[in-house]
Amino acid sequence: MTSYTQFFSGTATVAGALVGLLFVALSVAPERLRGSHASLEHQAVASTAFTALVDALFVSLIGLEPGGALDYGAVILGALGLTSSCGLAIRLWRSRAGEDLSRRWPYLLGFIVLVYAAQVVTGFILRTPSSQASATVTFVYILFSVGIARSWELLGLHGGGPLDLLAQRLASRQPLSGGSAVPPAPPEPGPGGE
């Protein structure tokens, strides 16, 4: 079996640092998370970033244990992430009429729910230590991606990549009374332009 000790040591260090930086980023603008100007969608973004990074941290720490039970770690941490994400989805769905939510939250949260569900399933079906370690490495990469992307979004920044362009496209769609969407109107010509 290939040793993943150095990989898990590195990812545990990185995940711990990222969780600490996330706390710093959240403390810079706490008004968006609590108080009278709190946004449920902003809270969901913070929660999904935190959950993904903590999952990566603890899975990496389990991978460092001699004879670490990566299958149990995948099931337990995946189940925690799955229940947390499903709870957020329910809260966002219930508040969609009273709060101005973006159009992309169902897609992003749906993807995150699928990641945690896959993590739970792989924890149940993979039996060899080598296959468990290999699957765990894949999930650590995915969870880092989710955690970093959601943290980036917390800061109000956009990456400009294909997923960001898709998210902008989804956010720009305007609903009609019949429920279909139309593209945004073309920009007005500038002064002196036709």
* % residues pLDDT > 90 (the chain): 38
- The pLDDT assigned to 138 comes to 94
What is the rounded distance in angstroms from the CA atom of residue 131 to the CA atom of residue 193? 62
pLDDT one-digit tens code per residue, 42-95: 788 888 999 999 999 999 999 898 877 898 999 999 999 999 999 998 988 888
Point out which residues pair with 45 in neighbouring strands. none
pLDDT number for residue 74: 92
156-186 pLDDT, tens digit per residue, is: 666 555 656 666 666 666 454 444 444 555 5
Q: In this structure, what are the phi and psi dihedrals at residue 117, rounded to the nearest 5 degrees?
A: -65, -40
Q: Residue 182: helix, strand or coil by DSSP?
A: strand
Neighbours of 138 (CB within 10 A): 12
